[in-house]
Chains A and B, each alone.
Chain A
Amino acid sequence: MEGIGRLECARYPFLANAGEYIADKGFTIEAFGTDPDLVPFIELAMRRIEAAASGLVYSSGLDAGDASEQSVDREVFSFVVATVLLRAAGARSLVRRFALSESRRAERFLERSLARESRERDMPARLLEGLFSVRVRRADYGYGVPVASYVRRSVNFHEREWKLVNRDVHAGLVRLTAHQVVRLVRQELADHIAERIRQSPTPPTLPNFEPHVARIRGLSESLEPKYAEVTGEHPPCVKHAMAVLERGENLPHSGRFMLATFLLGRGWDVGRIAPLFKGAPDYNEKTTLYQLNNISGAGGGTRYSCPLCDKLESQGLCHRTAECEGIISPMQFGRRREA
């Protein structure tokens, strides 16, 4: 992408010329790895990574509107160093999570700029077109996204509101709010960031990086979900949900609810279920435990039961096979033969 200003570099540091930005400032990766004066940037980079590891989105002075040169430097430098550290650690599951966290961060800026009545709105539109070939038209009602661009993305969403028939569609454009436009490209943004990290060359071993690289490896390992005990006795909808999590992809809330209620129904306790969600790109241990306890009825609340097959089907979660013949709830899967 050409003609990116300083501020855009800070907001969207994953764009191609963040590296150039560093070079223009007279720095190199080697300098960050050896110069004691630059250690604060490594610490900022670690904060970005740690935020991602705990399922949070990193915040900084930039969010509060600090657009000073120092602020911009901090943003770009810490992002670039973070990607270097992740690459050096070869931490696959953490890269995915970092990419998602950073894309959420970028979303905030995109959304804010799109919602603003100013020249600033041009940049997000250019970014969407440059990275994902989505031509966003601005209009009095919000934004228009061409039908083809819309459906290519919306088919990956399970929520029915994203079905084209539930949108205002006219003259080849789907009307969306700034928030919806940004939501539409979320996965691609994360994929783009992850891809950039994966494709960057493995950096040389540098003394200032070493302890952090070791720490990142540790963080990444603790995030690897353990699936060994999960075997083929589950119905296809549940297996599918597990596979989605295992790939580190996003499982909609309804899918998580199904998985949790199913396993609780099969006698699993919360402590055994929670680690399955570690694969989710937005995993947060506290939130997960809170939600699981809630669903399980711990502390005298209502215990939720697993939704019935027709409900799951309407939510796009059903992956029926011949073995599902004659059951109306995933809980009955595999059991009816014994009866």
Chain B
Amino acid sequence: MSGDDEALLRGAIKEYYIESREHVVVPDQIASREFGYQKLGYDGMIRHQSLPDEGALRVLLSREAPTDVYCSNARYLFPSMPMKEKEWQGADLIFDIDAKDLDMPCREGHSVAVCSECSRVSPAGGPCAACSSSKVSLRSLPCQKCIKAAHDETEKLKSILCGDLGVDPASITVYFSGNEGYHTHVRAADLDGLGSRERRELADYVMFRGAVAEAYGVPRQGAKRRDLPARGERGWRGRLAAGLGAEALKKAAAGGRDRYQGALEAASAAVGARIDPQVTGDIHRIFRMPGSLNGKSGLSKVRAGPSPAGIYAESCLLADRPVEVLAECPHRFSVGRRRSLGPYSRERATVPLYAAVYMVCKGVATAAAGAGGQGVN
């Protein structure tokens, strides 16, 4: 990233944290949380920070202008100590659903390959078109299909959490990650103290992983006494029958217990909620802080509404004054309130600040000289 790019981002980030204070969601019990952040010109994550109060958080945000800010879902007695000495006190239960894990067929069509050698941008799926290097990093641009798929998975997750696991809907908060996914935070007293193994067990439940034929109506012996799931039943039996179809289940069971077991294992991808189980099982993780900017996009992590349709506009909270960039992108894309940007073939373009930040974060543009000076310094 060039000095001009950094200046552009730093200015935009500072401006955001100073001018748009109301967007930052100050974590509750802030003094018990571990914070971490990333900043421009510094590789890696600064972790194990503790902040006594909201004022300290505001100072950190405006002084450091971090590209990304993270906060632990756990509460600790000593949040700034090394992990073993922090004295864990409990943690929100978190589920992460990201479009990149959903095997969407549209992905290649809205992804670009940014060359690690020469920084040029090519269509995804091949080497760098300019220098033929195969060292490229893939960046995905906003896609309504992808974000809708992630949103649908989140809805599925919520219905399992509330219907089966008895989670009170009022204790669930869903956030758009600021890039391509959703974070579901559950704040419930009875789940707060669960350890990593217990949380992985809940993850397996919502993903429908580890099911055995015996528990779903096909015993090892006495195959005649089958009790196959039917539509309309509650819990996983009902979802299984609805998702795979009663006929398919019947057919698998007719093939014997092992065949049926295979069908159950394969069903996980089709009927389970496709969360990242590592995230849910990690009780010492730090998560993107609600209301903070996402350094991969310049969009904010915001509360998700009932529909994913407007989320790219709702999360676009940077200013919109014009900025000149040098852009290169093979696809047309939309960001924030701008429905149509690109394609660009290494050309100068004047775009709103939020779009300029988005494009620089994605690697499809660089700041034109002097463009960075306009923000708050």
Contacts and interface: CB of A to CB of B under 8 A. Distances in A.
Interface of A: 146-148, 151-152, 154-155, 160-161, 163-173
A168 B164 CA distance: 9
B209 to A, nearest CB: 7
A145 to B, nearest CB: 12
Nearest to B166: A172
Contacts of A152: 194, 198
B165 interface: yes
A146 B198 CA distance: 13
A129 B204 CA distance: 27
Interface in B137-192: 163-167, 190-191
Contact of B215 (A148, A151, A167, A173): A167
A155 B235 contact: no
B171 to A, nearest CB: 12
Contacts of B214: 161, 166
Most chain A CB atoms below 10 A, which of B163, B215, B216:
B215
B214 to A, nearest CB: 7
Contacts of B201: 151, 154-155, 163-164
Given A148-B194, A166-B212, 16 more contacts: A147-B165, A151-B202, A155-B197, A155-B198, A160-B210, A160-B212, A163-B201, A163-B204, A163-B212, A164-B201, A164-B202, A167-B215, A168-B235, A169-B164, A170-B234, A172-B165
Contacts of B95: none
Contacts of B358: none
B37 interface: no
Interface string B263-282: 00000000000000000000
B213 to A, nearest CB: 10
A92 to B, nearest CB: 28
B211 interface: yes
B236 to A, nearest CB: 7
A166 B210 contact: yes
B208 interface: yes
A169 B205 contact: yes
B215 A161 contact: yes
16 contacts: A147-B165, A147-B202, A148-B193, A151-B194, A151-B201, A155-B198, A161-B215, A163-B212, A164-B204, A165-B204, A165-B236, A169-B164, A170-B163, A170-B235, A172-B165, A172-B167
Contact of B205 (A148, A165, A173): A165
A154 B204 CA distance: 13
Given A152-B198, A163-B204, A147 B211 contact: no
Nearest to B211: A165
Contacts of A147: 165-166, 190, 202
Nearest to B188: A148
Contacts, number: 67
B210 A173 contact: no
A161 B191 CA distance: 22
B251 to A, nearest CB: 22
A170 B194 contact: no
3 closest cross-chain pairs (CB), A and B: A172-B166, A166-B215, A148-B190
A310 to B, nearest CB: 13
A167 B210 CA distance: 11
A22 to B, nearest CB: 37
Contacts of A146: 166, 190
Nearest to A155: B197
B90 to A, nearest CB: 12
Given A146-B190, A147-B166, A152-B198, A164 B235 contact: no
A162 to B, nearest CB: 10
A165 B164 contact: no
Contacts of B234: 170
A147 B194 CA distance: 11
B63 to A, nearest CB: 41
Contact of A169 (B165, B191, B193, B211): B165
Contacts of A155: 197-198, 201
A165 B205 CA distance: 5
A257 to B, nearest CB: 17
Contacts of A168: 235
Nearest to A169: B164
Contacts of A164: 201-202, 204-205
A169 to B, nearest CB: 5
Nearest to B208: A165
Contacts of B204: 163-165
A163 B164 contact: no
A193 to B, nearest CB: 24
A171 B211 contact: no
A190 B322 CA distance: 71
Nearest to A144: B166
A167 B201 CA distance: 12
A87 to B, nearest CB: 32
B194 A163 contact: no
Contacts of B205: 164-165, 169
Contacts of B197: 155
A10 B210 CA distance: 41
B345 to A, nearest CB: 49
Contacts of B167: 172
